[in-house]
Amino acid sequence: MGARIALGPMLLAGAFYYFFGGASTTHVFAAMDAQRLELADVSAAPTQTHALDTGESDEGESDEVVSNDTDERAVLAFLRSRHTGLARHDELNVARTVVAEARRNGFDPALVLAVIQVESGGYNLAVSHVGAMGLMQLLPATAEELANRLDLDWRGPDSLFDPVLNVKLGTTYLKHLSDRYGDMTTALAAYNWGPGRIDKRIRKGSGLPLIYTNRIMQARELAEARREALPTTQS
227 neighbors 219 (Cβ within 8 angstroms):
no
pLDDT at 209: 96
User: Active-site residue 119, yes or no?
Assistant: yes
DSSP-derived letter for residue 127 is B
CA distances for 155 relative to 144, 147, 222, angstroms: 9, 10, 35
CA–CA separation, 58 vs 64, rounded Å? 9
CATH fold label, 11-18+26-38+65-229: Lysozyme (1.10.530)
Q: Could you tell me which residues come within 8 angstroms of residue 147 by beta carbon, excluding any fewer than 6 positions away? A: 153, 154, 159, 165, 169
Q: Are 197 and 28 in contact (CB under 8 A)?
A: yes
Sign of torsion, CA 143 147 150 152?
positive
| 60: Cα separation from own chain's centroid | 31
Block mean pLDDT (10 aa), the chain, length 235: 42 37 38 39 37 42 66 97 97 97 98 98 97 98 97 97 98 98 98 96 96 98 96 71
> Which one of 119, 145, 224, 228 is the catalytic residue?
119
Give the predicted TM-score (pTM) of the model.
Answer: 0.76
